[in-house]
Amino acid sequence: MALSKVRTNLGVVLVVAVVIATLASCSSDKAKQAGHPSYVTSGQFTTAHPNMSDTLKDYFDVYPTHVQQPIAFTHKMHLEHGMQCTDCHKGVAEGPDATIPNVQLCMTCHQVIATDKPEIKKVAAYQKEGEEIPWRRVNWFYQSAHVKFYHSPHIRAGIDCAACHGDMRQETTAVRKAGLDMGFCLNCHKKYKAPTDCMTCHY
Ligand code: HEC
Ligand code: HEC
Ligand code: HEC
Ligand code: HEC
Ligand code: HEC
């Protein structure tokens, strides 16, 4: 692919990515679970590079690490109460997508738990309106990188979530860990003798 297109096309790519992410979440809705939340990529980032050379050098770092979410969700608190990752990210062992739980799942507990808290009132308001919480994606790849990623082979191989996402017991909302890039994937694939040919991860 023409590298010169990288910077000029980021805007277009992002719009496409958002459309595709939306379509993908719609289709996985029907396939997997009704009411999967609207789940789109962040529209707010800037390459902020003065020239093409810097853009290329930093190419793998242009993803925003912190994403402003509609609810101040806390991984730490839920994990301290003994919940498992798969209680909420149900697709992680089977499908390509780990998935984000729908507001119905939140409300099975928050119908009665912490109902007086402002953030929980917001959650309840989404449910009342019949809307999903518009969570924004934290981990994703530009469409132009043509990366395919599946969770399931990693989970089957016994790789811990923390290897790629860090220790979520310390997190409120998720942050993207630096360096979720090709070198990171390849180093580990070499270590575990997992496939390293280009078509393993690209389409
Ligand atoms: C299995 C039950 C359960 C489910 C499901 C659940 N929660 Fe919670 N949540 C809790 C418990 C328990 C607490 C801690 C309450 C406390 O100690 O005050 C909590 C705390 C919170 C808090 C912090 C409240 C505060 O300000 O102190 C937020 C925000 C929250 N949950 C949002 C969510 C969202 C969003 C979902 C769905 C994605 C969800 N929860 C699903 C049990 C649950
Ligand atoms: C080998 C690295 C790796 C491991 C291990 C891993 N993830 Fe991920 N995860 C990723 C990558 C890369 C993405 C972005 C995928 C994409 O955009 O296609 C992602 C995306 C996600 C997402 C958001 C998108 C989605 O798929 O719904 C969630 C939620 C998630 N991971 C949860 C988990 C949980 C829970 C575990 C452990 C059970 C886990 N991940 C283990 C690398 C990993
Ligand atoms: C109570 C439900 C709940 C539990 C339990 C939970 N999560 Fe999450 N997770 C969420 C919600 C809601 C979001 C969306 C908000 C955010 O980005 O933090 C999320 C987001 C994420 C993301 C970022 C998704 C993206 O857009 O890339 C990752 C990665 C993730 N969780 C990993 C984990 C791991 C690993 C565990 C277990 C150690 C875990 N989660 C346990 C509800 C949960
Ligand atoms: C911490 C180690 C680790 C990291 C990091 C990692 N992988 Fe993997 N990956 C593995 C292991 C182990 C397997 C399983 C190989 C097997 O089943 O033989 C695997 C399998 C896969 C497969 C399925 C291969 C096949 O055809 O069987 C794909 C696709 C894949 N990884 C893509 C990625 C991508 C993309 C990234 C970076 C975002 C990544 N992996 C990061 C360890 C890792
Ligand atoms: C283990 C998974 C994996 C393998 C194997 C792999 N890649 Fe990648 N590749 C990635 C990931 C992840 C990215 C980063 C995407 C990003 O950060 O935007 C990437 C990025 C790239 C990019 C930059 C794409 C862009 O956005 O412009 C090129 C070019 C590329 N890979 C080529 C290759 C070639 C050629 C091979 C075979 C020699 C290969 N890759 C093998 C995972 C892999």
Cβ(167) to ligand 3 under 6 A?
Answer: no
Give 52's pLDDT tier (boundaries 50, 70, 90): low
Q: Which ligand is nearest to the CA of 61?
A: 5
d(CA 49, CA 132): 36
At residue 147, φ and ψ (nearest 5 deg) are -90, 135
Closest Cα to atom 40, ligand 2: which residue? Answer: 161
Cβ(9) to ligand 5 under 6 A?
Answer: no
d(CA 174, CA 178): 13
d(CA 133, CA 70): 7
pLDDT at 3 over 90: no
Which one is predicted more confidently, 58 or 188? 188
Q: Which atom of ligand 3 is nearest to the CA of 162?
A: 35
**What would the pLDDT profile of 125-162 be if each residue is shown by its tens digit?**
999 999 999 999 999 888 888 999 999 999 999 999 99
Closest Cα to atom 17, ligand 2: which residue? Answer: 140
pLDDT at 185 over 80: yes
Cβ(78) to ligand 3 under 6 A?
Answer: yes
pLDDT at 193 over 60: yes
Distance 194 CA to ligand 4 centre (A): 6
pTM: 0.86
Cβ(101) to ligand 1 under 6 A?
Answer: yes
Q: Measuring CA to CA, which residue among 25, 33, 43, 20 is closest to residue 136?
A: 43
Closest Cα to atom 11, ligand 5: which residue? Answer: 182
Average pLDDT, the chain: 77
d(CA 136, CA 41): 6
Which one is predicted more confidently, 85 or 52? 85
Structure tokens at 195: 């496939």
Neighbours of 114 (CB within 10 A): 12
Distance 75 CA to ligand 4 centre (A): 25
Which CA distances in Å does 106 have to 6, 170, 183?
39, 20, 37
**What would the pLDDT profile of 91-126 be if each residue is shown by its tens digit?**
998 877 899 999 999 999 999 999 999 999 999 999
For the chain, give every domain's residue range.
Answer: 4-100+135-201
Distance 96 CA to ligand 4 centre (A): 12
Q: Which atom of ligand 5 is nearest to the CA of 196?
A: 5
The pLDDT value recorded for residue 134 is: 95
